[in-house]
Structure 1
Amino acid sequence: MDNLISLLTTTEGRIGRQQWWIGIVTLVVISIVASIVLGLISMGNATLFAWLAVILNLALVWPSYCVGIKRRHDRDNNGTDLKILIAGSVLLNLLTATGIGSTMTDMGGTMVPVPSIWLGAINLIFAIFAIYMLVQLGFLKGTTGANSYGPDPLDAAA
């Protein structure tokens, strides 16, 4: 349990792909459970749910950053691209919550926000960047041996 807490709260050192996946799966499970609870709290109020989702997103920024930055360090990278990914996620979450870039459309008696073309384009670009980051963080091998961020986590495990 101490390892998981350290994984989610510290930024020093390097982690391998397995530890990154453990951290990400943990954060996804936390996010799903919290989203269910927030859905129950908001009782179908889409605006309230959107703002609660912003709060959830902000609460998960630090643990996501901690897991991601250690993985970027494993690839001998300073993590600027990770910072862009996290900032983009928060920005898109805020745009959704505020309704900026969306118009309300009647879908069978229920008003639903529909993203404008420019917001749809931003979402598409962000999705492509997120896939790039998923490959970088989850699938590519880290630097063999020590690098500027510390010893190889695979050597330390042996």
Structure 2
Amino acid sequence: MDKLVSLLTTTEGRIGRQQWWIGIVSLIVIALVANIVFGIISFGNVVVVAWLNVLLSVVFLWPGYCIGIKRRRDRNNDGTDLKIFLAISVVLNLLSATGIGVTWTDMGGVMMPVPAMWLSLLNLAFGIFAIYMLVQLGFLKGTTGTNTYGADPLNAAA
């Protein structure tokens, strides 16, 4: 448990793909449970759920940054792309919560948010960027041996 806490709260060193996946899956499970709880306590009010998701994204910003930056450093990268990714993620959550770029449409008696074209294109671009980040963080091998950011986590574990 201490290793997981350290993984999600510190930025020192490098981590391999396995540690990154452990951290990210842990965050996803917590987020899923939180969203179920949000749905229950908000009685399905989409505006309340959107603001609770903004709060959740802010809470997850540091743990996501911690595991992401250590993983980017494992690939000998300073993590600028990760910082941009996290910033865009927060902005998109804020846009969703405030309703900017969204029109509410009645669909069979249920009011549904329909994004404007510019917001749809922004979400598409962010989705492509998310795939790039997933490949960088979760699938590509880190630098073999010591790099600018420290010792190889695979050799240190052996």
TM-score range, shorter chain: over 0.9
> Unmatched 5+ residue regions in structure 1?
none
TM-score, normalised by the number of residues in structure 1: 0.99
Q: Which residue of 1 aligns with 2:35?
A: 35
- State the Cα distance separating 1:63 from its structure 2 match: 0.3
SS at 1:63 equivalent: helix
Give the residue type in structure 2 aligned to 1:126: F
What TM-score, normalized by structure 2, do the two folds share? 0.99
Deviation at 1:111, TM superposition (A): 1.1
Distance 2:33 2:111 in 1: 26
In the other structure, the counterpart of 1:70 is 70
3-state SS of 2:94 partner: helix
Q: Shift in Å at residue 110 of structure 1? A: 1.2
Query: How many residues are matched?
Result: 158
What does 1:79-158 align with in structure 2 at a 5 Å threshold? 79-158=79-158
Q: Deviations over 1:34-87 (max 9, x none)?
A: 111111111111111110111011111100000000000000000000001111
Computed over aligned residues only, the root mean square deviation of the Cα atoms, in angstroms, reads: 0.5
Quick one: percent identity of the two aligned structures?
A: 71
What CA distance in whole angstroms lies between the structure 2 residues aligned with 1:123 and 1:133?
15
How far, CA to CA, are the matches of 2:61 and 2:107 in structure 1?
Answer: 33
Q: Does 1:5 align with 2:32?
A: no
Q: Is residue 18 from structure 1 mapped to residue 14 from structure 2 by the alignment? A: no
